[in-house]
Amino acid sequence: MHLGRPIYQLAFSLVKMSIIKQIEDTVKNGKLAEPFGKKDLEKAFDWPKGTNNAYLWKHYVGNPGGKKEYFEKVVPGKFRLKS
């Protein structure tokens, strides 16, 4: 059975949502302090290599790709959750 592109896109969106949810929950419970960077995410989560850095840069306020904005850049390489 072929799932088709719409279902694939939905599944991919759910994975992305779970990443931001994990970050939000970890900040709320005090296990990840803001501002955070790639190395902080590597310590807090066991995600595939490259996910930590790519996710931050793809989803910061004003990202060039027009992706959904979850983070505000504080200083180079450090972010906080968008308020």
Which tens digit of pLDDT belongs to each residue from 33-46? 999 999 999 999 98
Residue 37 near residue 79, CB atoms below 8 Å: yes
* Structure token digits, residue 25: 């929950």
Q: pTM above 0.75?
A: yes
Give the tens place of pLDDT for each residue, 6-20: 654 555 555 555 899
Count up the domains in the chain and report the number.
1
Helix (H, G, I), strand (E, B) or coil at 18: helix
Residue 57 structural domain? 5-81
Write the CA distances from 17 to 4, 11, 14, 20, 59, integer angstroms.
Answer: 20, 10, 5, 5, 12
